[in-house]
Structure 1
Amino acid sequence: MSHVPQIKIPATYIRGGTSKGVFFRRQDLPESAQVAGAARDNILLRVIGSPDPYGKQTDGMGGATSSTSKTVILDKSSQPDHDVDYLFGQVAIDRAFVDWSGNCGNLTAAVGAFAISGGLVDADRIPQDGVCVVRIWQANIKKTIIAHVPMTNGEVQETGDFELDGVTFPAAEVQVEFMDPADGDGAMFPTGNLVDDLEVPGVGTFKATMINAGIPTIFLIADEIGYDGTELQDAINGDPAALERFETIRAYGAVRMGLIEDISEAVARQHTPKVAFCAPAQNYVSSSGKQVTSDDIDVAVRALSMGKLHHAMMGTAAVAIGTAAAIPGTLVNLAAGGGERSVVTFGHPSGTLKVGAEAKQVDGEWTATKAIMSRSARVLMEGWVRIPGDSF
């Protein structure tokens, strides 16, 4: 019996923030996969090792979590005054599905570095030493992101002493600015309210702040849903009934936000919206054993991604947290003590994170002008990924 041999595709495996993903230049993909469609999705699924009914992604590059089942495709930008187009694909673990509905804020920290090293940034824009400002067009949500990438001797500086909770080793700091971060073309608060009563049949009615900033996110109050805001992953991910409740809340919230028309469509839109819950600052012990005190943070936040409690915080959700905290009256703002603020430090399962955000009212509607945070990124492996030639 004859079988089609494997093919090689140039790729780089990179950690960005608290996520990992397989990065490609669009020009390096097989021609049929250089455009949206089944061929592209099938290639990415096979690279990552999905769908895997065992939930391990053993036969691929994925790490069997939402944070490590990710792909990125970059190209020289087609947009004026931008360097690189960034397309993000969130690969489902146990289903044959790639979600293109949102951005990955963590991997954004690696986009600038990969674009520089991959020849996607014009040479005259790259300093020999100092900081290279990479202008990124986020193609999923059609927004501008600015990455400040450190350079030494003409090469990306990856090593350093910047520490990021949720990442074991220090690295170089990469400052990332999310410009006009309201997701998509609609209102930042799609219901028109800072706080709504979200009715979820069979589950309950909850106060909710539903915001499009960074990524569409539904914020709940921790004690309204039976939590205190200091939970670690096992407390929720080991509870199938809790995960089912969160998914039901997410589905009904997606309808209220206008992202889908019927709750049955939520299964095909796993990446967005996110569900998060917040609580006033308090003491807790992080997943690494680090003591977080109420003096270290302004608010405690936990968020779910792809149906599971995230081990730290998604970068895009951090943008949503920072933006919501900056707007008086949202649930995040109230949990943080209320009032006006341009910076918030929040506690997550792995530790803490500081996010700056600017928001203002225009004609009675809130709009976000910018959110900023520091992450780090590091190339883990580069070369080729191999997949069977008949995978697509």
Structure 2
Amino acid sequence: MAFPPQIRVPATYMRGGTSKGVFFSLTDLPEAAQQPGPARDALLLRVIGSPDPYGKHTDGMGGATSSTSKTVILARSTQANHDVDYLFGQVAIDKPFIDWSGNCGNLTAAVGAFAISNGLVDPTRIPDNGIATVRIWQANIRKTIIARVPITAGQVQETGDFELDGVTFPAAEVEVSFLDPADGDGAMFPTGNLVDTLEVPESLVAGGKLEATLINAGIPTLFLNAEALGYDGTELQEAINGDPAALERFEALRAIGAMKMGLIREVSEAASRQHTPKIAFVAPPKSYTASSGKGIGADSIDLNVRALSMGKLHHAMMGTAAVAIGTAAAIPGTLVNLAAGGGERSFVRFGHPSGTLKVGAKASRQQGQWRVDSAIMSRSARVLMEGWVRVPGDTL
């Protein structure tokens, strides 16, 4: 039996924020994969190495975690007053599935750098030295993101002294602004409430009732109080990921929240929508030791937040979830705002398993609805490898 040789596809392996993924220019993909559909999904699954029943991604570029099983496709923007179209695919580890339902805020930090380096941004918009403002159209959620990328001698400046908890080495700072971050075209609070009371099985929560803030900002997110779940908000990954019963409980609650938000019609549909919504729990500030061994003092943060992604507690914080945190913190009365002490605020610094993160947002009420003009945070990005990825010729 004859087997086809491998094909190679131009690609760049990049870190953005606390995530990393494989980046492609749309026009570099095989013709069959330049359109959404089975051929594209098959290619990207094989690039990452999914599905992998061993959970290792040994035969692919993925890292077998939600933070490292990511793909990005970029193209010159089809939208007026934008530079680049950014499409994100979250690749499942153990299933032949790519979730295209949301954005990756961390990898957003790398989009501007890739776009500049790969000729997707008009050269006249790039200074010889200074900051290049890259206007990104986030195609998954149809929103505008502004990345401010440092430039030195006409090239993207990747090295620097900006430190980001959850990333081992310092790099150049990239400021990312998410404009009008309410996810998609729906209301920021899909139920119309800042806090909802969810009806849940008593096997999940004693009494069968659970308070939640359901918000569409950055990414649809379900916020719960840590105390109501038996946690204090200082948990690290092993406390949750090493407890199969806890993971099943969070997934059941996430499905209920997705139903309440109108994202799915049946609880069973949550299994095919793993990337969204996110589920997180919040608590007032409390001292803890981060996964790096760094001590986080209660007086250095406004609250603690722990969030799950693709069924596991995240090692730091997803960028899109950070937008949701900053947005919810800016709106008096949400569970996030109350955990941070309540009142009006334009920024919040929260503790996560790897350390702390500051995110700013300004909220206002317009025609009876809450609106946040933008949410801003600083990340960093770096090219790890560039060249070609190879996949067997019968992949597509």
TM-score, scaled relative to structure 2? 0.99
Quick one: distance in 2 between partners of 1:309 and 1:367? Answer: 29
Of 337, 342, 348, which aligns to 2:341?
Answer: 337
Question: Post-superposition shift, 1:198?
Answer: 1.2
Counterpart residue number, 2:120: 120
Counterpart residue number, 2:96: 96
Of 225, 236, 240, which aligns to 2:244?
Answer: 240
Structure 2 residue 265 is matched with structure 1 residue 264: no
Encode CA deviations 1:236-271: one digit per residue, 9 max, x unaligned: 000000000000000010000000001010000000
User: Does the CA-based 8 Å contact 1:200-1:248 persist in structure 2?
Assistant: no
Quick one: distance in 1 between partners of 2:244 and 2:298? Answer: 30
Quick one: distance in 2 between partners of 1:65 and 1:194? Answer: 32
Structure 2 residue 393 is matched with structure 1 residue 380: no
* Count of residues in Structure 1 that have an aligned counterpart in Structure 2: 392
Query: Partner amino acid for 1:343?
Result: F
Question: Post-superposition shift, 1:365?
Answer: 1.0
Structure 2 residue 309 is matched with structure 1 residue 308: no
1:68 match: secondary structure = coil
Counterpart residue number, 2:129: 129
Of 270, 290, 294, which aligns to 1:290?
Answer: 294
Query: Partner amino acid for 2:357?
Result: L
Structure 2 residue 356 is matched with structure 1 residue 357: no
Of 323, 328, 331, which aligns to 1:327?
Answer: 331
Question: Post-superposition shift, 1:164?
Answer: 0.1
Query: Partner amino acid for 2:329?
Result: A
Counterpart residue number, 2:204: 203
Counterpart residue number, 1:231: 235
Quick one: distance in 1 between partners of 2:11 and 2:37? Answer: 20
Of 197, 217, 223, which aligns to 1:219?
Answer: 223
Quick one: distance in 1 between partners of 2:186 and 2:387? Answer: 40
Question: Post-superposition shift, 1:149?
Answer: 0.1
Query: Partner amino acid for 1:199?
Result: E
Query: Partner amino acid for 2:108?
Result: T
Question: Post-superposition shift, 1:368?
Answer: 1.4
Quick one: distance in 2 between partners of 1:247 and 1:198? Answer: 15
Quick one: distance in 2 between partners of 1:256 and 1:362? Answer: 24
Unaligned segments of structure 2, at least 5 residues:
none
Quick one: distance in 2 between partners of 1:263 and 1:362? Answer: 33
Encode CA deviations 1:59-117: one digit per residue, 9 max, x unaligned: 00000000000000000000000000000000000000000000000000000000000
Query: Partner amino acid for 1:257?
Result: M
State the identity as a percent.
76
1:289 match: secondary structure = coil
Query: Partner amino acid for 1:89?
Result: G
Quick one: distance in 1 between partners of 2:198 and 2:43? Answer: 39
User: Does the CA-based 8 Å contact 1:357-1:371 persist in structure 2?
Assistant: yes
Quick one: distance in 2 between partners of 1:359 and 1:51? Answer: 41
Unaligned segments of structure 1, at least 5 residues:
none
Counterpart residue number, 2:11: 11
What pairs with 1:62-211 in structure 2 (closer than 5 Å)? 62-201=62-201, 202-204=203-205, 205-211=209-215
Structure 2 residue 24 is matched with structure 1 residue 24: yes
1:67 match: secondary structure = coil
Question: Post-superposition shift, 1:200?
Answer: 1.9
Quick one: distance in 2 between partners of 1:265 and 1:130? Answer: 47
Query: Partner amino acid for 1:222?
Result: A
Question: Post-superposition shift, 1:203?
Answer: 1.4
Question: Post-superposition shift, 1:367?
Answer: 1.3
Quick one: distance in 2 between partners of 1:190 and 1:183? Answer: 10
Query: Partner amino acid for 2:143?
Result: K
Query: Partner amino acid for 1:65?
Result: T
User: Does the CA-based 8 Å contact 1:210-1:217 persist in structure 2?
Assistant: yes
Quick one: distance in 2 between partners of 1:33 and 1:123? Answer: 28
User: Does the CA-based 8 Å contact 1:103-1:141 persist in structure 2?
Assistant: yes
1:295 match: secondary structure = helix
Detail structure 1 runs of 4+ shifted over 4 Å in the superposition. Answer: none
Query: Partner amino acid for 1:139?
Result: A
Quick one: distance in 2 between partners of 1:368 and 1:55? Answer: 39
Quick one: distance in 1 between partners of 2:184 and 2:154? Answer: 36
Query: Partner amino acid for 1:121?
Result: V
